Structure 1
């Protein structure tokens, strides 16, 4: 009798184990809520000032998509690791992002009952990072069968986008252009989408020939990107010669690249490259710096929000 009881208890326990495992599998793959949400995706920053820019973009999304749940994700593992280790530059009080990758943010939202997502890339061009974002979303959709994910395109996606951004920047820098050329610093990439920077410069120069677009990764006009060296050569051709120039980031935020590669004081050590500001001052130019990211301009944010509205 005791043997029969023990066997029955063992069978019940085994059944409970299999039932629990089955429930876990259903929770992971089949049990989805019906809530809808928005995920804004950015490269990220460990600097304090860009947090205000992120808030401005966040406010634009909340105003345009009132009542929607809005989360954020970072695409930069380096930035995420720095922030998780408490290594941000200065105080990040008021930070609105939870230091999650896009995949992690989506996973959290699934656990909170979301199954329909609209993801907006806040990247400037549809380059490597945007491709990686699409790959991450593809893997997410394979893991959670039944989820719906639409993706909004980056800022300079189409020729119409490029013209619209050029029109906005021409107005924003109309006063600075009265004093001399305006130089915009993008990031640059070996991806084919790097061509978008020169397309933007072409549109800007139709409006004012004193606009120049360069990139941190630029290695010269002939290679399809613009370096500060290439821009300096173009400035030398201007007649009359300019004495004052304005520099500003062509990035969603004024973060590390804007503070260091564009406006920094790196010195003349052989181990460090001079910033744009230093190179220009070395050529005798008076340099005016506008430390604003593209996300600080509401008109630019509207384009990102339009892309979110049209997400596919």
Structure 2
């Protein structure tokens, strides 16, 4: 059996090592008898890494082809996506193209699928940022957002924060809802905040985190919020750096391994 960890990818070497690599290493440490390989779904990022760093990382289809050429017929795929959004759907389409060529192939869950996942992630993020929770700081996470129905994960995670009594925790997205404008409206409505902590709700700290969130351009979240009178602090760390998040992926991988061993997902 082989475990293929599939990520969208990143062109930032530190995030590649500290976020994606850290998740892969956690899975590798938990399944020492199985080979763990890496694949990306973004061909743009693959081209950047090849041209700039001469780094060869497999596109997901190429990783599957290589496995078949090496007579690997049992595979667990662990996506590092946060949700079953558009990128996850693309991955599933690729898996279906190849399913008939494997004896068994199982795709593990992304990070946020079941209620237990949301409970765990909300608790992990709250624990990670507790030192900033001083009564006058709004703790805001920036997600990517998607056109897919799974965009509702942001609302659901927000509800989990509320259930925990973390009313000063807010979630916005770059490309969907809730928007930064909605977050700003909520901050003004609360009327108690002097400071804002910004942190990406993404596996890696990539372009969105470094530019859309923490950049110096006028429309960045940092500049927008500073313009509203808040003292803004940015943390440029993807959630893949958090050991407890890594272990959630390990848990999902373990569930998929169990399915592969106990449930015959043979030829569709």
The alignment's TM-score, normalised by the length of structure 2, stands at: 0.90
SS where residue 103 of structure 1 aligns? Answer: helix
Displacement of 1:264: 0.9
Which structure has the larger Rg?
1
Partners of 2:122 and 2:161 within 8 A in 1: yes
Cα distance in 2 for partners of 1:230, 1:169 equals: 21
- Give the superposed CA RMSD: 1.5
How many residue pairs align between the two structures? 254
Cα distance in 2 for partners of 1:213, 1:99 equals: 32
Q: 2:249 aligns with which of 304, 307, 311?
A: 304
SS where residue 253 of structure 1 aligns? Answer: coil
Q: 1:167 aligns with which of 108, 123, 135?
A: 123
SS where residue 149 of structure 1 aligns? Answer: strand
Partners of 1:49 and 1:255 within 8 A in 2: no
Displacement of 1:166: 0.5
Displacement of 1:160: 1.7
**1:87-123 CA-partner distances (Å, limit 9, x unpaired):** xxxxx69x7xx32211111111222231110000100
Partners of 2:85 and 2:146 within 8 A in 1: yes
Q: 2:235 aligns with which of 290, 301, 307?
A: 290
Equivalent residue for 1:44? 9
Partners of 1:73 and 1:100 within 8 A in 2: yes
Equivalent residue for 2:91? 133
Displacement of 1:58: 1.8
Higher RCO structure, 1 or 2 (CA under 8 Å, sep 6+): 2
> What is the correspondence of 1:48-63 to structure 2 with a 5 Å cutoff?
48-52=13-17, 53-63=19-29
Partners of 2:73 and 2:104 within 8 A in 1: yes
Equivalent residue for 1:156? 112
Equivalent residue for 2:67? 109
Equivalent residue for 1:181? 138
Partners of 1:75 and 1:101 within 8 A in 2: yes
Displacement of 1:140: 1.3
Partners of 2:5 and 2:78 within 8 A in 1: yes
Spell out structure 1 runs of 4+ moving beyond 6 A.
none
Gaps of 5+ in 2: 260-268
The alignment's TM-score, normalised by the length of structure 1, stands at: 0.78
Cα distance in 2 for partners of 1:285, 1:68 equals: 49
Cα distance in 1 for partners of 2:16, 2:91 equals: 22
Cα distance in 2 for partners of 1:55, 1:83 equals: 15
